[in-house]
A and B are shown apart, each in its own frame.
Chain A
Amino acid sequence: MSFEIELRKTLVSDGREFRLDVQFKTDASRVVVIGPSGAGKSLMLQAMAGLLDLEFGRVRVDAQWLQDSTRGLNLPSRQRRLGFVFQDYALFPHLNVRQNIAFGLRQGWLNPRRLVASSASSEMEAVVERSLQRFELTEVAGLLPQALSGGQRQRTALARALASEPGALLLDEPFSALDPALRERMRDELAALLERLQLPMLMITHDAEDVRRFAQQSFELAQGRVQR
C-alpha cells in the first residue's frame, strides 16, 4: 500500500498569495502529515480528493491513479472512492445518523429513508445496520447530528466515510474537536479499526501525538511545502 502525490496550486485571497507545492512518495500505508495551522494541510487533503482545481496534480493511491496532469487524467471527486472525514465532520444536519451513513450508498435525487422497514431489508440497509452496530450507534440511529455527543459525531463521520468501502481513508484533524480524555479513547478506537480494515490511511494533524500513534511514515508541512 502506498501513496504518490504531487500537487501545485496558487491561491490568492485578500491580496495575499499562498502557494501549495506538495510532493511525496511513500510505500507506507499509514501516513501522517503534520504542520501548523495555515500550512496548507486541509488544502492538500481537498486536492487529493479532487475538491480543488489544481494547476498541476498527480495523485496515486496504491496502484490506482486518481489524477495525472501529464496524461490529462483527473477523476471527479465522486469517482475517487476515498473515505473522507472532515475536521468538523460535515455531517448533514437535516439527516439522522442512519441517513448520514447510508448517504453515499444511495444514488439519485432522493435521500435515504428516515426509518428502516422492520421486515424487508435491502442489501443497503443491511450494510447500514452492521455499520451502526460496529460503531455503537444503533441507539442513536434516529437522532439528528446536533443531538449527538462529540464521540458519536466522529463515529458517525467514520461510519459514513467507510460505508461504501473506499480505497483509502483521508482524515482531516479527526481529534481536534474532542476534549483530551475522549481524544485518547477515539485514538484507541481508530487504531483498532485501522488494524482490522487494512486500509491505506492518510491523516493530517497539528498534534505530534497522532504521529506517534498512527504514522508508519510522517511528513512535515509548512507554508505549503513538505519540509525535508
Chain B
Amino acid sequence: MNHWAPTWPGAWGDAWVALALSLKVAGCATAIDLVLGVTLGQVLARRRFPGRDLLDAILTLPLVLPPTVLGYYLLVLVGRRGALGAWLHDSLGVELIFTWQGAALAAALVAFPLVLKSARAAFEGVDPQLLRAGRVLGLGEWALFFRVSLPLAWRGILAGVLLAFARAMGEFGATLMVAGSIPGRTQTLSLAVYEAVQAGQDDLAQLLVLIISVVCVLVLVLAGRLLPRAARRPA
C-alpha cells in the first residue's frame, strides 16, 4: 500500500483532467440522448406507422453492436471524407474526428438506446384515457405532452438518463476510434485507465478505476431510487 502514497499528487492531477473531460463528454452525450430519446420515445409509444418495428430495431442496435463497429460507422459518416463530416467541415468549420465533441457523439450513440427504451416504456405507461380527458378539456397536443405525458413519465425517463450517463462515462471502443486518446483533449477516464496500465502506471490506473467505479455506483443508486416509483397509474 505504501508505494501508492509518494506518487499520488501527480496522479491526482492527471486523474482530475481525465475526470473533468469524462464528465463533460458524458454530460453532453446525455443531453443529446435526452432530447432525441424523449422525442423518439414519444413517437414510438404513441404513433402507429409502417416500419415502426424496423425503426425501433435500428435505434436499439447500439445496445448490441460492438462499439468498434459503431465507431467505424461514425468515422464513415462524420469523418473528413464522410457525407456529413465533409458538410460539417466545409460549411460550419466543425471537426469531429479527434476532438472531445467527437467523443461526446460516440458516447451519445452508444448510450442512446438506454434513454429511448426507458422513455418509450414510461410514455406507454401513461394511461391513454388521461390523454383523451386532456383533449376533451381543450388542450392541444403540445400542452398535453407538457402537462400530462411528461409529468407522469419523467421518473422513468430520468432513470434512463442516469443509466445513459453512467454508460457514457464508461464508453471506450467507439470513443477511441472516433476521438483517439489524446491526453487532456480526448483521453477520458476509461481511456486513461487503459493507457495507464499499458504504461505500467499502476497507481494512476488504480486511482482512475476507483474514481470511475464510485461515480458509476452513485449514478446507479440514484437511478435505482427513481425506478420503482416510475410506474404511476391514474386513480
Contacts and interface: CB of A to CB of B under 8 A. Distances in A.
Interface stretch (A25-33, A74-82, A193-201, A218-226): A74-82
A1 B143 CA distance: 33
A81 B137 CA distance: 8
B136 A164 contact: no
A92 B235 CA distance: 8
Range of interface residues on A (Cβ < 8 Å) = 35 or more
Interface residues of B, number: 23
B200 interface: no
Nearest to B234: A93
B46 interface: no
Contacts of A64: none
B147 A84 contact: no
A111 interface: yes
A148 B235 CA distance: 9
Contact of B133 (A76, A92, A164): A92
Given A93-B152, A94-B151, A109-B146, A104 B235 contact: no
A94 B127 CA distance: 12
Interface in B109-134: 127, 129-130, 132-134
B133 A90 contact: yes
Contact of A78 (B129, B130, B139): B139
Contacts, number: 81
Interface string A86-101: 1011111110000000
A138 interface: no
A88 B143 contact: no
B135 interface: yes
A144 interface: yes
Contact of B140 (A78, A80, A145, A160): A78
B133 A86 contact: yes
Interface in B147-169: 147-148, 151-152
Given A78-B140, A90-B130, A145 B234 contact: yes
A12 interface: no
B139 to A, nearest CB: 6
A3 B143 CA distance: 30
A93 B134 CA distance: 13
B136 A82 contact: yes
Nearest to A46: B132
Which 6 residue pairs spanning A and B have beta carbons closest together? A104-B137, A145-B235, A77-B135, A90-B133, A146-B235, A109-B146
Interface of A: 46, 49-51, 76-84, 86, 88-94, 103-104, 107-111, 144-146, 148, 153, 160, 164
